[in-house]
Amino acid sequence: MTALNFSITHEGIFLATDTLVTRDGRPLTFTAKVLMLPHMDGFVTGTGSIALFQRWSHEILSEGMVHMHVLDVFTPDRLRKIWNEMSDEERDNGSADIYHLYYDPNDDQFGGFAYRYSNDFESEPLGYGDYSKPSFDNAVEILDFPGDLIRACRRQRFAQEKLDPGERRQIGGQVIAYMMQRHEAEGQPMSTLMTAQVAYVFEDLDDMFLDRELDDDVWGSDLETCRSPI
């Protein structure tokens, strides 16, 4: 599962996720969980099934969409189709949310859409505010970037570690922080400036890397080659 924290404000979108991917509670791999779409002034991210996020990202990049509002029209049906074609293992126990975050130059405002498995992937508009998943008490208001996002991810991990293993969401690897804000250049229409940075590394990253469950589908068939640099 994913630690996901983001804030939609008049000034921009501020976002962070961890990088750990697990299978059956064990580390599997590490990956970025945000797709940056500068040509659409948007981010795509998600929680739950990493397979759904990756397949949806591939479809978006293959379609050549030019506006996040246009993409929103097609998203619910296409997510349902992808989900129905996935295996039980890929569905990660039936948990998945996809989020589209964007800047609308026509309205000069930032916004987002949520598509949740629990709501049959219907489009849910997101307004200004702070969003965290998994949720935790006294959620951190995102005022300092990326510090508050790092603190939110750490607090989510600490909260999850107190739960029984069967209920726990694994969080770890690195925290990658993303930002999207307006960008103005003389003689040019309003656009966005996007950044991404490794903002934090969890203390047990190396241990998780060594303990990861190597898999042919992720790492290729030559596992000895994969192990040799360690």
What gap in Å lies between CA 202 and CA 200, rounded to an integer? 7
The pLDDT of residue 220: 41
What is the Cα–Cα distance from 28 to 209, expressed in whole angstroms? 8
* pLDDT per 10-residue tile (average), the chain, 230 residues: 92 97 86 96 96 96 89 97 94 89 94 97 96 75 91 93 87 96 86 96 85 52 34
Contact 116, 97 (CB under 8 A): yes
Geometric angle at alpha carbon 7, from 152 and 55, rounded to 5°? 90
Alpha-carbon distances, residue 31 vs 2, 4, 87, 106, 162 (angstroms): 11, 14, 21, 33, 25
Separation CA 135–CA 77 (nearest Å): 27
